[in-house]
Structure 1
């Protein structure tokens, strides 16, 4: 992004910006769909005509929305952090600790991508109870995809350097 965090300038920055907007729209759509499905499933059950697949789809939507929302929060620096000790460090040390933390995060996310792909492969034969024609891998793929998006955001944060909450 630009120095003032406005509109992106390079094609790569524009693509990353568009990806962030698409994530936000998709997460919002999934959240609304999840609420509608759970509500309609509850009403149908109350009317003694249960719709069993609503819970399965809501579970799938929740998994995807959770990982997308995590990346949105990481992108917008909206995750909780405790900087009691690092705030007292000199700028150079603070940057070093930040880079070390990002490397730990990248390592963990790399493991999640690897393990998530394996989990999705293993669960491909499993199906939902209420919708047996859909593979359970649609849920488990949210893990490696979400971890890959979080890793991309981590790399962007590392490239940008100090984040916006840091003061001089």
Structure 2
């Protein structure tokens, strides 16, 4: 299972990077085409779709690597057990929100399946909206793994405390 998750993380990083590169290329091509008086308006639309996917994938990568912003001005002054309890509460709140996002995003993708993306009849709007539940599930997996590791670390540290 660990090997599958590592592979998933690598694929996620490659897809996120490809989305970011493709966004830049599409926007640049759209700008060059507009300068040549041959606008390609669809480039901005596809870049927007890629941006939605890149946001969620990159958020998961940052969350996994501890790269998201956090403010611990008050919690750092609390005793260790209170800090741990607040961390558990934070993980549970985040997990609850991500479960809601995954469900609401799946519903949104389902009801928008017949809507065309930016008027392009061959492409469903669900391709954009699926970034929400997919990203939420990936973030939920990362949150669950962080929560599990925190629990294991907490047990290990409480086992070391002489009682």
TM-score over 0.5 for the pair: yes
Q: Which runs of 5+ in 2 are unaligned?
A: 158-163
Structure 1: 4+ residue segments shifted above 6 A: none
Find the partner of 2:133 among 130, 144, 161: 144
CA RMSD of aligned residues (A): 1.8
Say if 1:63 and 1:139, in contact at 8 Å, map to a contact too: yes
Cα deviations by residue, 1:61-84 (Å, 9 ceiling, x for unpaired) = 000000000000000000000111
1:93 alignment counterpart: 82
Q: Quick one: distance in 1 between partners of 2:36 and 2:116? A: 27
Which secondary structure does the structure 1 equivalent of 2:20 belong to?
A: helix
2:67 alignment counterpart: 78
Q: Quick one: distance in 1 between partners of 2:13 and 2:35? A: 33
Find the partner of 1:131 among 115, 120, 138: 120
Aligned positions of 1:42-57 closer than 5 A: 42-57=31-46
1:4 alignment counterpart: none
Say if 1:116 and 1:141, in contact at 8 Å, map to a contact too: yes
Find the partner of 1:120 among 98, 102, 109: 109
Give the alignment's TM-score, normalised by structure 2: 0.88
Say if 1:56 and 1:130, in contact at 8 Å, map to a contact too: no
Q: Quick one: distance in 1 between partners of 2:117 and 2:7? A: 33
2:29 alignment counterpart: 40
Q: CA deviation at 1:158?
A: 0.4
| Structure with the higher strand share, 1 or 2 | 2
Say if 1:38 and 1:55, in contact at 8 Å, map to a contact too: yes
Q: CA deviation at 1:45?
A: 1.4
Say if 1:56 and 1:131, in contact at 8 Å, map to a contact too: no
Q: CA deviation at 1:49?
A: 1.1
Say if 1:52 and 1:130, in contact at 8 Å, map to a contact too: no
Q: Which runs of 5+ in 1 are unaligned?
A: 1-11
Cα deviations by residue, 1:27-48 (Å, 9 ceiling, x for unpaired) = 1111000100011011111111
